[in-house]
A and B are shown apart, each in its own frame.
Chain A
Amino acid sequence: DIQMTQSPSTLSASVGDRVTLTCRASQSIGSWLAWYQQKPGRAPKLLIYKASSLESGVPSRFSGSGSGTEFSLTISSLQPDDFATYYCQRYNSYPWTFGQGTKVEIK
Chain B
Amino acid sequence: QITLKESGPTLVKPTQTLTLTCTFSGFSLNTTGVGVAWIRQPPGRALEWLALIYWNDDKRYSPSLGSRLTVNKDTSKDQVVLSMTNMDPVDTATYFCAHVQAVAAYFSYWGQGTLVTVSS
Question: Which residues in A have some Cβ–Cβ distance to B below 8 Å?
Answer: 1, 32, 34, 36, 38, 42-46, 49-50, 55, 87, 89, 91, 94-101
**Residue of B whose beta carbon sits closest to that of A48:** B106
Are A95 and B104 interface neighbours, CB within 8 A? no
Are A1 and B106 interface neighbours, CB within 8 A? no
**Residue of B whose beta carbon sits closest to that of A95:** B62
Are A87 and B62 interface neighbours, CB within 8 A? no
Are A46 and B106 interface neighbours, CB within 8 A? yes
Return B116 CB to nearest CB of chain A, in Å: 15
Main secondary structure of the interface of B (DSSP, over half): strand
Return A21 CB to nearest CB of chain B, in Å: 14
Asked if B47 lies at the interface with its beta carbon under 8 angstroms from chain A, I say yes
Bound CA span A55–B113, Å? 21
Asked if B108 lies at the interface with its beta carbon under 8 angstroms from chain A, I say yes
Q: Which residues of B contact A91 (CB under 8 A)?
A: 105-106
Bound CA span A41–B4, Å? 16
Return B77 CB to nearest CB of chain A, in Å: 22
Are A95 and B47 interface neighbours, CB within 8 A? no
For B46, B104, B111, which residue has the most chain A Cβ atoms within 10 angstroms?
Answer: B46
Asked if B26 lies at the interface with its beta carbon under 8 angstroms from chain A, I say no
Are A43 and B48 interface neighbours, CB within 8 A? no
